[in-house]
Amino acid sequence: DQQVKQNSPSLSVQEGRISILNCDYTNSMFDYFLWYKKYPAEGPTFLISISSIKDKNEDGRFTVFLNKSAKHLSLHIVPSQPGDSAVYFCAATGRASGNQFYFGTGTSLTVIP
C-alpha cells in the first residue's frame, strides 16, 4: 500500500529554469512532510520540510508547497543548477504513524547545462 506517491520517475530541466517535483499522499493523518535529495552511493540528504499548519516554506532556491485538501505537495527549485541533478524523495509522517516515515519512489532530476 503506497501511501506516498511520486508519479514522475524522471524530469529534465534547463539550467536557470524552474524545476517542479510533485508528490501525492493518501493518509490524511500525515502532518509533517519532507524532501530529501540523494546522490548515487550516498544516503538521502535532508532538503526542506513543511508542517501541515503551513502551506508554503522557503529556503533559498527551494520552496515546498502543501495543498492539504488535494493531499499534494510540490518542491520548486529556482533557478535550477547542474549540481541539483539527483534523485529527490518526498516523505510523510505524523504522530498517528508513530513518526514512521513513508517515502515516495523518487524522481530523478537532470539539470542540463
Partner 1 sequence: DAGVTQSPTHLIKTRGQQVTLRCSPISGHKSVSWYQQVLGQGPQFIFQYYEKEERGRGNFPDRFSARQFPNYSSELNVNALLLGDSALYLCASSSRGAQGTDTQYFGPGTRLTVL
Per-residue cell: 87: 534523485
Contact segment (CB under 8 A) with partner 1 among 10-18, 30-38, 57-65, 73-81 equals 30-38
By CB under 8 A, tell whether 54 contacts partner 1.
Answer: no
User: With CB under 8 A as the contact rule, which of the stretches 10-18, 54-62, 67-75, 88-96 interacts with partner 1?
Assistant: 88-96
| Residue 27 or 79 having the CB closest to partner 1 | 27
| 40 contacts 104 by C-beta, under 8 angstroms | no
In order of 15, 29, 72, the CA distances from 33 in angstroms are 27, 11, 10
